[in-house]
Structures are given as structure tokens and as C-alpha cells.
Amino acid sequence: MRILITAGGTAEKIDQVRSITNHSSGSLGVQLAKAALAKGNLTVDYIVAKGAMLPPKDPRITLHPIENTADLQKIMRQLLEKQTYLAVIHAMAVSDFTPAVSLSQESFIQGMNTWLQQKTDSQFTEDELAKLLTVLEAQQEDATKISSKTEHLFMVLKQTPKVISQIKELQPDTLLVGFKLLVDVAEEELLAVAQKALVKNQADYVLANDLTSINAGQHHGYLLDAKGVVAKANTKKAIAHLILDTILERKQSL
């Protein structure tokens, strides 16, 4: 049987020397890979973002290195079309936004003046926003590296495609395990948001965790299914084993 694990954090380029990165050491992914090998008869495809920790070298693990969300989308599609997975465990921290426009203060001022001339509404409506974005995009210099001399930099970022929502479309029968990381919220809110994400992404399970409860050695996580909390675990290793045990048990009951 084969499973797909994603791990690490993606990086979206601003220019040739700068990126917006999502933090993720990749260590939970490593624990997932180790747990998958420990459980016996599993082969692992492992999509890993640049800079993340790597799982131990093992002939049963195939690494697929990527950098950004577009890479992830491409390799995910390729793998899901080629292989059948018992489960996809999507632990990667994926960028929600990617830079669309980056302007120096000087270019932004020019762009704002161009837009003011075109403006037809006294209010800043969604239509005016669309106009402004078109002007700012046209204003974007052909810069391979943004000048460091301008006083302010103005950036517009656009949403990246939601890769997780494509997984079940490509492979309806795989067990999808998503992750939801929030920062400093009440347990109730964390679980509610994770439950919503489960429904939205057609996930079978979501591992809900809060950044404030993750620190040296400790990593509190709740594994949810459509009915609610399946179990809680308190270290990355325990979370990894909980996920693997849960999907293998589910497999036997199918």
C-alpha cells in the first residue's frame, strides 16, 4: 500500500533574492514517514519543500522536492493521476498568497496618479479596486531584483490555488488528512475552524493544532473526523502514530 505525505513550508518568490516563506521545519512530516515505515507494509511518496528536514534514507520513501505552491500543485496532480494512495497526509504549510505586484514608492505614486485620473466613483468600490490593480500591474517594473533604495515597498499578493481541495477530486477514494494551524485561539474555536476545513476540503480527518501549544518537544494536536474529535496527542511522534494508526484501522474496516 502507498501513502502520500507532504511536509515543510512553501516559498513564493518576490524577486530573484527574496521570498515569502511559510514556516515549517518539516519535522512532523519526518515523524509521519518514520511511523509509516514502522507500521510495516507502506510505501511513501514524500513531497518536501526546500529547506525542510528530510526523512531517513530508505528505499520505501521517494522524495519529491518542491519550492512553491505551483510546484506542489503540479507534482500533486502527477502523483495522484499515476498512483493509488491509501491516504494523503497533507502536513505541508502552503502559502495562501503569492506576490502579484511589487512597486517602489516612486512607482506606486505614479500608479496612484494614473488611477486618480481614471477614477469615476467618489467611493473606493470593488470596481475602483480592480482599476487600481490593473494600473499597478502595468506599473510593475521589469526588475529582477527590487531596488533597495526606495523608502517603502508596496506589494499586492493574490491567493494561491487551494491544492488541498483538488485531492479528493482527483482521487475520491483516498483517505485525506488535512492540517489546521491557528495561533492563540480557544480550543473551541480551533475545533470549529478545523471542522469547517474538513467539510470544505472533503477531508476525512483534520489535525487541529495551535502554534502557541507547539514548543520544544511538545506539540498538542486534536485529530478530528466528521463526527468530532477522534483523539488528542501531545508530541509530534504521538501525532504521527495517531494518524497512521487511524488510517490503517479505517482501511481494515472498509
Torsion of CA 49, 214, 210, 91, to 10 degrees: 30
Residue 11 binds its own copies (CB under 8 A): yes
**Which of the ranges 17-25, 33-41, 68-76, 163-171 carries the binding residues for its own copies, by CB under 8 A?**
17-25
Residue 77, CA distances (Å) to 66, 112, 165, 218, 246 in order: 13, 40, 12, 34, 25
Considering only the C-alpha atoms of the chain, give the largest distance between any 2 of them, rounded to a whole number of Å.
67
Are 12 and 99 a contacting pair, CB within 8 Å?
yes
CA 195/CA 56 separation, integer angstroms: 33
Residue 123 binds its own copies (CB under 8 A): yes
Residue 59: all three cell numbers together: 528505499
**Residue 103: which H helix or E strand, with range?**
strand 97-104
- Comparing CB distances to its own copies, the nearer of 60 and 158 is 158
CA 191/CA 182 separation, integer angstroms: 10
**Which of the ranges 73-81, 83-91, 150-158, 242-250 carries the binding residues for its own copies, by CB under 8 A?**
150-158
Closest distance of CB 116 from its own copies, Å: 6
Residues 83-102 that bind its own copies (CB under 8 A): 93, 95-97, 100
- Comparing CB distances to its own copies, the nearer of 2 and 154 is 154
Q: Which of 1, 53, 70, 182 binds its own copies (CB under 8 A)?
A: 182
Applying CB under 8 A, what is the total number of residues that bind its own copies?
A: 50
User: In the complex, which residues of this chain contact its own copies (CB under 8 A)?
Assistant: 11, 14-23, 51, 93, 95-97, 100, 105, 108-109, 112-113, 116, 122-126, 128-129, 133, 144-146, 148, 150-159, 181-184, 211
